[in-house]
Amino acid sequence: MRIIAGRFKRRQLASPKGDGIRPTTDRTREAMFNVISSRMDLNGASVADLYCGSGSLGLEAYSRGAARVEFVDRDAKALALARTNALALDEHAPCRFVKMDVRAWASHAHGPYYDLILADPPYHSEGIPTLAEALLPRLSEGGLIILEHDRSLRLPDHPALAERRTYGKTGVAIYHHPVVDEQAP
């Protein structure tokens, strides 16, 4: 597992041991970040990596210019791995590590807000179809939520759902912050 692009391009990341963490493949991560870069500029962005596992998604965003990354996972081993990988790239990386259930984290709707929220929950988790709705209050205007899931899972239509993609066994749903038209009657 490695960083795909940016200032830490080709740097190796520590991989998880055992079956508890399923890292996003390099190929899928590259495709996801191609979609992200076509929709937003990561330079100076505030990013949340939820169900962070090894931290590869958040660290890819950091490598590509994100100003700060918050890693959230309820598993202490996953957070430790993400911290190890962040420190290996940059000992002064502007990263925060939060041991918390993602739904509890999402309920803090008073901020901070994020330009990019990357969520890669375990594929067998209940509640994936409603996860984006729970995360929208933490998204800044013009921001994106990238939700990784098993491709066989059918997500409900939602006004913020911009696009769906499939990469092998992985489905990716892209949500955007709903822009409110202040000139509408």
- pLDDT tens across the length of the chain (185 residues): 889 999 999 999 988 776 556 667 778 889 999 999 999 999 999 999 999 999 999 999 999 999 999 999 999 999 999 999 999 999 899 999 999 999 999 998 677 899 999 999 998 888 999 999 999 999 999 999 999 999 999 899 999 999 999 998 999 999 998 655 444 44
- What pLDDT is stored for residue 184 in this prediction? 45
Residue 134 lies in a domain: yes
Distance between CA atoms of 102 and 49, rounded to whole angstroms?
10
- With beta carbons less than 8 A apart as the criterion, state whether 141 and 116 touch: no
Residue 39 lies in a domain: yes
What is the number of structural domains in the chain? 1
133-172 b/e (C-beta count within 10 Å ≥ 16 → b): ebbbebbbeebbbbbbbebeeebeeeebbeeeeebeebbb
Residue 52 lies in a domain: yes
Place of tokens 């962040």: 86
Residue 20 lies in a domain: no
- What pLDDT is stored for residue 179 in this prediction? 58
The single-letter DSSP state of residue 12 is: B
Q: How many CB atoms lie within 10 A of CB 124?
A: 7
Best CA proximity match to 21, nearest among 47, 53, 46, 69: 53
Residue 151 lies in a domain: yes
Domain with 162 in it: 26-176
Q: Which residues lie below 8 Å from residue 43, measured CB to CB, with a gap of 6+?
A: 65, 67
Distance between CA atoms of 45 and 94, rounded to whole angstroms?
12
Distance between CA atoms of 180 and 171, rounded to whole angstroms?
28
Residue 154 lies in a domain: yes
Q: What is the CATH number of the domain that holds 38?
A: 3.40.50.150
Phi, psi of 94 (to 5 degrees): -80, 70
